[in-house]
């Protein structure tokens, strides 16, 4: 396990080969690692880390992403924290959130699930009259900062700090009694028709919110496609719209359009 000051004495003087090996070990162990985390752990500059990541990406040893790196092994043993996720794929998430916001209409009752893309969604919605139900504390707090007259309902339950969501029996019991015009859910991975996340309990809560909606939306930037995670909680066949970003490949468009309507 890496400690923050493991290379404290050597900094940018650290041998390049050792540094590249250390980066690969961290990325493969975690699945996703931010540039900031690598800088802090290896005690090197932002420019050094970016050069190293570019080199490892070009050699096919990892996948270079905005704000960090992703393992080519697709590790599902570790889920990034909510704060770490905020640093990954920022532009793509904003793109997805803006597209999702266009589907929200006046007088809608909507459910917004947990996730950093969903927090952005709440900021981009431009209607005057709206009822929002959420089990996400960050989404709730995001909406609270806005000057609007929306009706806002926060679903309580067991708090999962890694995602900022309330889940479990209490949350599920409340969600089962509510109906929505539209539900917006984020995911950790989609592989063909299988929609996945890292927590079985959170997946069950998300599934209930999807089941009780007239229209079901999945918001996922393209890095989530063809990526597996721990728990399969829903099928794309049962979703109305998959919203992703422009970095999706033509092959992926063809692949995922088989299962549902795709918007990018």
| pLDDT above 50: residue 12 | no
- 124/173 same-domain check: yes
If one counts the domains in the chain, the total is: 2
DSSP 109: E
Run of H or E including 146: none
The residue out of 78, 98, 128 marking a domain boundary is 78
Examine the domain organization and report whether 176 and 227 are in the same domain: yes
203 within some domain: yes
Element (H, E) at 132: strand 130-134
Query: φ, ψ for residue 69 (rounded to 5)?
Result: -145, 150
Q: 138 and 20, same structural domain?
A: no
pLDDT exceeds 60 at position 121: yes
More confident residue, 78 or 44: 44
Residue 143 above 80 pLDDT? yes
Give the range of the structural domain holding residue 32, as residue numbers without chain letter. 11-78
Query: What CATH number did the domain enclosing 196 receive?
Result: 3.40.50.1360
Q: Is the pLDDT of residue 8 over 50?
A: no
- The residues facing 186 across adjacent strands are 219
2 inside domain:
no
End residue of a domain, out of 19, 44, 78: 78
**pLDDT of 56 above 50:** yes
- Confidence grade of residue 83 (pLDDT, cut at 50, 70, 90): low
224 Cβ neighbours under 8 A, 6+ residues apart: 187, 188, 189, 190, 244
Query: Which 8-state DSSP code applies to residue 157?
Result: S
Q: Are residues 71 and 99 in the same domain?
A: no
pLDDT of residue 7: 44
Together in a domain, 39 and 104: no
What contacts 37, CB < 8 A, 6 or more positions away? 26, 68, 84
Q: Which two tokens stand for residue 111?
A: 């459910």
Same domain (yes/no): 152, 186: yes
Q: 68 and 126 share a domain?
A: no
Radius of gyration of the chain (CA): 19
Distance CA 37, CA 50 (A): 12
Q: What tens digit of pLDDT does each residue of 84-112 get?
A: 565 567 888 999 999 999 999 999 999 99
Is the residue at 3 inside a domain?
A: no
Residues 40 and 120 in one domain: no
**DSSP tag of 8:** T
User: pTM here?
Assistant: 0.73
Q: Exposed (0-12), middle (13-18) or buried (19+): which is 240, by Cβ within 10 Å?
A: middle
Compute CA distances 82 → 37, 156, 163, whole Å: 14, 18, 5
Q: Is residue 5 part of a domain?
A: no
- If asked whether residues 105 and 205 sit together in one domain, one would say yes
Could you tell me how many residues make up the chain? 264
Is residue 21 a part of any domain in this protein?
Answer: yes
Residues 74 and 104 in one domain: no
What pLDDT score does 1 carry? 42
Mean pLDDT, all residues of the chain:
87
Q: Do 167 and 95 fall into the same domain?
A: yes
pLDDT digits (tens, 9 = 90+) for 181-215: 999 999 999 999 999 998 899 999 999 999 999 99
Confidence (pLDDT) at 227: 84
Residue 3 confidence class, pLDDT cut points 50, 70, 90:
very low
DSSP 92: H
pLDDT at 14: 53
Decide which of 79 and 148 is more confident. Answer: 148
**Which of 34, 57, 78 lies at the terminal end of a domain, its last residue?**
78
Residue 34, judged by CB atoms within 10 A of its CB (0-12, 13-18, 19+), counts as buried
Residue 85 falls inside a structural domain:
no
Asked whether residue 74 is domain-assigned, the answer is: yes
Token pair, residue 237, equals 């066949």
């Amino acid at each position: 396990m890496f400690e923050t000051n493991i290379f404290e004495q050597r900094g940018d003087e650290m041998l390049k080969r050792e540094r590249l090996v250390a980066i690969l070990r961290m990325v493969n162990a975690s699945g996703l690692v931010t540039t900031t985390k690598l800088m802090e752990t290896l005690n090197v500059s932002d420019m050094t880390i970016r050069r190293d990541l570019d080199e490892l990406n070009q050699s096919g040893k990892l996948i270079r992403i905005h704000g960090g790196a992703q393992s080519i092994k697709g590790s599902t043993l570790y889920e990034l924290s909510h704060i770490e996720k905020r640093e990954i794929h920022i532009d793509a998430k904003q793109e997805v959130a803006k597209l999702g916001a266009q589907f929200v209409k006046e007088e809608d009752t909507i459910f917004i699930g947990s996730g950093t893309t969903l927090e952005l969604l709440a900021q981009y919605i431009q209607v005057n009259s709206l009822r929002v139900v959420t089990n996400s504390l960050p989404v709730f707090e995001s909406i609270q900062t806005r000057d609007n007259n929306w009706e806002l309902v926060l679903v309580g339950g067991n708090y999962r700090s890694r995602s900022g969501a309330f889940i479990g029996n209490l949350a599920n019991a409340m969600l089962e009694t509510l109906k929505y015009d539209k539900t917006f859910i984020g995911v950790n991975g989609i592989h063909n028709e299988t929609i996945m996340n890292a927590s079985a309990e959170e997946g069950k809560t998300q599934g209930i919110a999807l089941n009780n909606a007239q229209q079901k939306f999945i918001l996922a930037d393209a890095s989530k496609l063809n990526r597996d995670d721990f728990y399969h909680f829903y099928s794309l066949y049962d979703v109305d719209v998959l919203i992703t970003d422009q970095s999706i490949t033509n092959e992926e468009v063809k692949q995922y359009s088989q299962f549902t309507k795709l918007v990018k």
